[in-house]
Structure 1
Amino acid sequence: MSFVLVERPRENVALVTLNRPERMNAMAFDVMVPLKESLEAISNDNSVRAVVLTGAGRGFCSGADQASAGSPPHIDGLTRPSIALRAMEILDDVVLAIRRMHQPMIAAVNGAAIGGGFCLSLAADIRLASPDAYFRAAGINNGLTASELGLSYLLPRAIGSSRAFEIMLSGRDITAEEAERIGLVSRLVPGTDLLDESFALAERIAAFSRPGVELTKRTLWSSLDASSMAQHMNQEGLGQLMIRLMTDNFEEATLARREKRDPVFRDMR
């Protein structure tokens, strides 16, 4: 049985499903290792223009598997501290792989997104959620820190520092309704429509210029680390100039509006 399913439900769109529903798609190593490999393969698949990530069953991802996590690969001869470091590196690399993908990723959060699962959803570029979704920074409830896999970096940037501090320190659940209200998710979608809505959004993104979409993703993420507005505006301008000078996309968009049709971007001159 494959714990990570990759499908092509629409043209130019890949669907990645965490497929361990009996454990609410918990982050065992036999799930996370193939997930990282799948994400890297999809990133290099030039026929894929947008990606949707979801979970099978009633959960998105319930975080660390506390019962049957398995062992990370390549640990023969290592002591416990080194094994722990390798294990954390594997999980970190999954979150970073999402960030490094050439394509935008939409997290279709269909249920519980707990601990590391919360982090996976935050690593995605866009989040849609069903009314059954909920989010929890679970580490604090387990006698650990609530900070893991980039959560203390990503959450304040998504919802603001005061809300992030309160949520991470209290360990309480964020309901789907609250998640929409505070901007943690873009919008709520009925559960039966969640994937179709995610695919429709992915198709809309896929219709635009490939370098335009990729540079927009990169620029949005880099804005979170920019040391000044002026520095970031320079980066934005260089990306805009590159596409404007090296493609005829702008001329095609102008012509398409005049002719009342959808543009067809060649991404070249």
Structure 2
Amino acid sequence: MPFVLIDKPRPDVTLITLNRPERMNAMAFDVMVPFREALEEVSRDNGTRVVVITGAGRGFCSGADLENPGGIPGIDGLTLPTIALRSMELLDDVIRAMRRVHQPVIAAVNGPAIGGGLCLSLAADIRLGADTALFRAAGINNGLTASELGLSYLLPRAIGASRAFELMLSGRDVDASEAERIGLLSRVVPGDKLLDACYELAERIAGFSRPGTELTKRMLWSSLDAASLDAHMGQEGLAQLYVRLTTHNFEEAIKARKEHRPPDFQD
């Protein structure tokens, strides 16, 4: 059975599932390499408008596999220090690959998202959670730093600096209810309704303009990196002008409202 599954549950929607339920979908290299490749493949799939990511079984991703990390590709002849660098680079590339996906990415957090699993969820654009979702920045609990795979960048931007400092330094669990309250999850739904809720959101997003949604995603992430409001507004304005002047989407939206029908954006 492959460690990563790719399905098309609904038109325009691709589901990527981490498929190692017996290990709570831990981040063994045998899982993360095909997961990164799946992200890159789906990003190139023009039949996909929205990507949903989840974990098989009762967990989203339990972080690093401390018992069986799997094989690391391309390390023949290297010594331990360089192998460690290659290993970290490979896992970092998974987070970067999630950010590079053209389409909006929804994380369906169906259970524990621990350590690196928390990082994976934060690299998604949107997070919906089951009532069994649970988050932990686990590095500090293991005698390491809690900062890994971009966590010290992503978490403060998701929930604010003070809460991020507290969670990363305390290593405590955050249940689904608290995660929704502090903005780690945008919504909590019953576990058996989680994927359907993600698909419904995905279908709503897919109903809008492709360049409109893809550029909105880019602009939102760009705003988190912007050095100033002025610098970001210039980029944002160009993105708006690009879609306005190169498509007839605006005219179609006006016409659809007058005709009391959903717009049909042809881009």
- The answer to whether TM tops 0.5 is yes
**Aligned equivalent of 2:179:** 179
**Aligned equivalent of 2:245:** 245
CA distance in 1, matches of 2:91, 2:261: 45
Deviation of 1:71 (Å): 2.2
**Aligned equivalent of 1:118:** 118
The letter for the 2-side match of 1:154 is L
User: Which SS does the other structure have where 1:61 is aligned?
Assistant: coil
Q: CA RMSD in A?
A: 0.5
TM-superposition CA deviations, 1:191-246 (whole Å, max 9, x none): 00000000010111111100000100000000001111011111110000011111
Q: How many equivalent pairs are there?
A: 267
**Aligned equivalent of 1:231:** 231
1:36 partnered with 2:42:
no
The letter for the 1-side match of 2:105 is M
Deviation of 1:47 (Å): 0.5
**Aligned equivalent of 1:169:** 169
Q: 5 Å matches for 1:11-160?
A: 11-160=11-160
Deviation of 1:125 (Å): 0.1
CA distance in 1, matches of 2:177, 2:6: 29
The letter for the 1-side match of 2:147 is S
Q: Which segments of 5 or more consecutive residues in structure 1 lack a partner in the other structure? A: none
CA distance in 2, matches of 1:72, 1:19: 19
CA distance in 2, matches of 1:88, 1:230: 35
The letter for the 2-side match of 1:211 is P
**Aligned equivalent of 2:254:** 254
TM-superposition CA deviations, 1:50-88 (whole Å, max 9, x none): 000000000000000000111210110000011111111
TM-superposition CA deviations, 1:150-196 (whole Å, max 9, x none): 00000000000000000000000011000000011001010000000
CA distance in 1, matches of 2:188, 2:107: 12
CA distance in 2, matches of 1:70, 1:7: 25
CA distance in 2, matches of 1:95, 1:205: 23
CA distance in 2, matches of 1:159, 1:264: 36
**Aligned equivalent of 1:188:** 188
The letter for the 2-side match of 1:94 is V
Deviation of 1:94 (Å): 0.5
The letter for the 2-side match of 1:230 is D
The letter for the 2-side match of 1:115 is G
TM-superposition CA deviations, 1:94-153 (whole Å, max 9, x none): 010010000000000000000000000000000000110000000000000000000000
**Aligned equivalent of 1:208:** 208
TM-score by length of 2: 0.99
CA distance in 1, matches of 2:19, 2:225: 34
> Which ranges of 4 or more aligned residues in structure 1 deviate by more than 3 Å?
none
Deviation of 1:2 (Å): 0.3
CA distance in 1, matches of 2:243, 2:157: 28
User: Which SS does the other structure have where 1:135 is aligned?
Assistant: strand
TM-score by length of 1: 0.99
CA distance in 1, matches of 2:143, 2:97: 28
User: Which SS does the other structure have where 1:60 is aligned?
Assistant: coil
User: Which SS does the other structure have where 1:95 is aligned?
Assistant: helix
Among the aligned pairs, what percent are the same residue? Answer: 72
The letter for the 2-side match of 1:255 is K
